[in-house]
Structure 1
Amino acid sequence: MSGIQVFKSIVLSIVAAVAIPSILSQVTATEIELNAVVLGVTFVIVLAATLVSSLGGPSAGAVQAGKAAPRADQQGDVDDEESEDDSREQGTVKWFNVSKGFGFITRSNGDDVFVHFRNIRGRGHRSLTEGQQVRFNVHQSEKGLQAEDVSVVRG
């Protein structure tokens, strides 16, 4: 979990610590006093829930076609971009057919480059998602331009 994700979890927990007791008071028509204990307990519960869910559950926006994405420890698919000083090109995944194991990346100049799953960094089943930002090298093969050493850019 990155520092930004932890920060977002803390902010969400603070907002929820104030909002949840207020909403419960109105819904149940019961007076819930907003004191340090109520705010603290609510904050800790929400923070724990967000941290636990980020470690083991599907990530936000990762649920596609009614199926949950694999957990980070099961995924092993694509290594995220680790180096900012990278001489590889950056582009956007135009489409990727998971069952066939290939797709296309659009270069910054608009050209499309073929990408095969074997050329994606990572272990196990490797795939890309439409719209992902990726870094890659381009190789001229017998059939045209092909992406190699492909990795997802963290965003």
Structure 2
Amino acid sequence: MLLDTRKPVFAALLFFPVLATAATVHRCEDANGKITFTTLACPAGHELKLQNAHNPPPGSVLTPSAPSETKTRKRSEELVIVGQRDDGCGNVLSAEQRRRAIINQQTPTGMTKRDVESLLGKPDKIVGRNAELRYVYEEKKGKSRQVTFDENGCVKGKR
């Protein structure tokens, strides 16, 4: 007779506490007081402070910690976002605007060639003139759709 050992192991796993995930982030401050956060090392000349970043799982209940003193930010301080996506088109479109345009089959100004090809596929014809590039898509009933790109590969606006 064989013993099924899976049940006791599974039951034992239910008694382990759920651990909250946390990460350590480097808080780098330069001589001018400019602060950046990164998971990498701080650049030379920056003061390093380790800071715990707590990311509770969705649905968990947060309890307020002890009251701490609040600091107001000076207007001259600039917030630096590390790891922001650069699409090469000046980040004209937000991620939400880009998704909405793709869903609505639109090609607004600031969309990249990659986005357009993802939306409409490979063009039927490519026309290049000066620094402009134009994708031509042949559609039903003899109609065509054209998308014009600038020298950076970004959709140009209508003039």
TM-score w.r.t. length of structure 2: 0.22
Higher percent of residues as helix: 1
TM-score w.r.t. length of structure 1: 0.22
Between 1 and 2, higher relative CO (CA 8 Å, sep ≥ 6) is seen in: 1
Structure (1 or 2) with the larger CA radius of gyration: 2
